[in-house]
Structure 1
């Protein structure tokens, strides 16, 4: 088990993640990593001690985003909670399009295991509430979130910026329709 970070180390890591979000959004995924360290107010050695490369920092930003998504949907009560989860997930995928590309190109599928596990954990509470309310198909499983996420992110991956939002909206409509319960679905 990893030891918890000292407060100063945790603060530097958080600053690096915040800086990475901004730099990647402003300059794209190929922005120099030194720019992230500079924006975070730390040295290059601190950046590389925390994140050995571009894939690791992109994955960390995405994990942080999924953790926030999990907090948002930790105790849902609304019958449409899972639909709301998917809407929020879609918006995050649009915002993190470039980061998703780096993760998809990761050198090992094992590096994605923590992200996949975090996504399932974030989705389960809302999925259970929506299934119990009869809003969402009863045959959906937590592991299906990986498929749904791929569907939501796949269409926007190489889309031109001018068409990205339209593709994201249409993909979301199709995914929401696919997960909704139908008349005759047994709970």
Structure 2
């Protein structure tokens, strides 16, 4: 918690509204928290998460970008911003957004996850899987990110399977893989 009790209260109320699936109330409370502590990236990150959950990717990207602008060392916000960009067929932009994460310590799961996406953007599937699995082994803090990466691993493994006779090649069916083939080649 911060030294600003009003900010903390607004965040707590916003998180409660989010858990109760009251998106509009959560967004309003996070906006109020942002006004109470304009230099904090946390409310913007939470707004980005709400928008992403509601399917408003453009608003989510803007909110995550604001979080990163206000708090460049907020690694999870940077990761989520890049993930939205990657899954929106903008792998090159995501790799630029993620650039600072490539320099994180070897022990940081985000370093491995972004390295996995970088490999995926170049169709280096085995390398991508290696990084995703290494990141999962190091990720004790964020089960939601681990669950998403688990889905990415399954999708990459599916892409690597040879098609059965008379069947078309496996397509990237997961949203996180939708932009990889248009990435950097």
Same fold (TM over 0.5): no
Q: Structure 2-normalised TM-score?
A: 0.32
